[in-house]
Amino acid sequence: MKHALVFGGSGQIGLPLLQRLYHDGWRVTAISRGEQTDRPGLHWLRGDLERMPELPKRVDAIFSCGPLLKFAKWYETSGIEASRVVGFGSTSAETKRGSADAEERRVAAELREGEATLFAAAQPRSDAATVLRPTLIYGAGRDATLTRIAQLAQRLRYFPLPRGANGLRQPVHVDDLADAAFAALTAPASFGNTYAVPGGETLSYRDMVARTLACLRPPVKLIELPSPLFNLALLAAQASGRATGLGEAAVRRMRSDMAFDAGPAQRDFGYAPRPFRPSAQMFESPRG
């Protein structure tokens, strides 16, 4: 029986990935910071990349569904044997590298360093590594963008956007990302490569938000404001703590295209993500 080691197994991508491995007959060892319950074929270990529990000495594959740089640095010094490694990064490695915000530039640099560290560590071990770069993730109620928008909109009963928020987006469902990782696992063309894994539909930021608000129960109204008025509203929201993390750079990106080519992923491992069809349940926080 094939054996997989999964980091971030209790996260928004990790959980659907565990289901795919389980149904394909894999034995899985998964790492989580919180207490989890074992089931046949799935054994949980409690720990993280800084406080690692005792791990198997050899597995057939390792998946990283959490912070890429921390994982890559651990993998670099680990003695574990694994011929296949699949890790998740982010398209933020490119979209935020020239940001006006220093913290965003740091995040982008860490993502690129994580990719470089992973590939450099895999080469002398003859391990085949693949990095998947998702775009804007949704579907599990745990993302920091669309779920955050939906929950704030439900509290306010409206949601403001600046006019001209027409930058292109490709929101990607967590299940499609799990499918991508599982498919890339056995696709030799993906060995040693990095792939953008966007969603199956390209639409404007404004339309993405409008669809999100329309699926809520009850639906929430989108209000488009002139930039000066929106900036005043944003300052007020930041002062009240309701818009933490939404800075000038993030607002500027609403007008910038962030679309990526899924062609290489489609060619090399049959990546076929769904169009953006949100439902209210996708933005509900998980219970328990």
pLDDT digits (tens, 9 = 90+) for 148-198: 999 999 998 999 999 999 999 999 999 999 999 999 999 999 999 999 999
33-49: b (≥16 Cβ within 10 Å) or e: eeebeeeeebebbeebb
| pTM recorded for the entire structure | 0.93
Contact predicate 250/258, CB 8 Å: no
| Residue 47: both structure tokens together | 């720990």
| Residue 12: both structure tokens together | 């928004």
Q: Could you give the CA distance from residue 105 to residue 261 in angstroms, rounded to a whole number? A: 23
Give the pLDDT score at 206. 97
pLDDT digits (tens, 9 = 90+) for 68-127: 999 999 999 998 999 999 999 999 999 999 888 899 999 999 999 999 999 999 999 999
Peptide bond into 218 cis (omega under 30): yes
Instruction: Give the model's confidence band at 28: pLDDT under 50 very low, under 70 low, under 90 confident, else very high.
Output: very high
Residues with Cβ within 8 Å of 195's Cβ and at least 6 positions away in sequence, in order, are 130, 131, 132, 133, 180, 184, 264, 265, 268, 271
| Domain spans of the chain, in order of start | 1-134
Alpha carbon 42 to chain centroid distance? 23
Assigned CATH class of 1-134: alpha beta
